[in-house]
Amino acid sequence: MGDRSSRDVVYQRISWIEKKSNELVLKEAKLERSLIKTIRQRQLQFLGHICRHKGLEHLAITGKIEGKRSRGRQRILFAGLKSWALGKGSNNNFLRLIENKFCAENMIANVCSRQGT
């Protein structure tokens, strides 16, 4: 999110007549597009949306659902996303942080700018 201003400058100079590809525009802006980074960013934005609106989805994410686990390899859950987003040992304050929209935006920006994403 910190590189938004440089992107806006590049996009303002492109006319619709020029027929430039997205790759060329990204190269001119000296930016890289990462699919994993985009996916993680959207997952965290969705998680923040769900946690701010108290409904069935919020209960499903924050609470335990009764029943047996399914067989085979377990899917990556949002609980794992919490630890990935904040690092180890920070799960206690995650829900309080994500409910504040400003804190959530900062957290998403920090996660997406880290190395390895």
| Per-residue model confidence (pLDDT) at position 22 | 83
| Per-residue model confidence (pLDDT) at position 1 | 47
Long-range contacts of 96-100 (CB under 8 A, 24+ apart): 98/47, 98/48, 98/51, 98/52, 99/48, 99/51, 99/52
Domain boundaries of the chain, sorted by first residue: 1-33, 34-113
| Per-residue model confidence (pLDDT) at position 46 | 83
Dump pLDDT digits (tens) for 2-59: 455 555 666 677 788 888 888 888 888 888 878 878 887 888 788 778 777 777 777 7
Helix, strand, or coil here: 98?
A: helix
| Per-residue model confidence (pLDDT) at position 8 | 62
| Per-residue model confidence (pLDDT) at position 101 | 73
Angle at which helices 35-52 and 101-113 pack, to 10 degrees? 160
Dump pLDDT digits (tens) for 44-103: 788 778 777 777 777 766 666 677 777 877 666 665 666 666 665 455 566 666 677 777
- What pTM was estimated for this model as a whole? 0.48
